[in-house]
Amino acid sequence: METAPSSPATQTQDLKARVQQVLNTIRPALQMDGGDCDLVDVTADGIVHLKLRGACGSCPSSTMTLKMGIEKRLKSSIPEIKSLIAV
């Protein structure tokens, strides 16, 4: 018996859950520096919208944290991720 393909909404929810799992592994490092992040959204086309909080939100190095840290980790763990956007 074949299973029906999952809907785009289900696929997006699955992708969002996987992104959250990766962020949970990164979060302790952010918290050690007085910051944190909130997952705002993950689109069906692999764009992650993330909000940095606390010290990370106002840090001059936040762009590096996002692009060279978080985005790189997400892309290596989840091939469907195309980009990370700070909101």
Q: What is the CATH number of the domain that holds 76?
A: 3.30.300.130
Q: Is residue 19 part of a domain?
A: yes
Beta strand pairing call for 35-42 and 83-86: unpaired
Q: Is residue 2 part of a domain?
A: no
Cα dist from 21 to 2, 47, 77, 78, whole Å = 29, 16, 10, 11
Q: Using 50, 70 and 90 to split pLDDT, how confident is the model at 3?
A: low
Q: Is residue 76 part of a domain?
A: yes
Work out the average pLDDT over 47-63: 89
Query: Residue 18's domain spans which residues?
Result: 8-86
Q: Could you give phi then psi for residue 36, rounded to 5 degrees? A: -170, 180
Model pLDDT, residue 42: 96
Q: How many domains is the chain partitioned into structurally?
A: 1
CA dihedral (7, 76, 32, 48) positive or negative: negative
pLDDT in tens, 26-37: 999 999 989 999
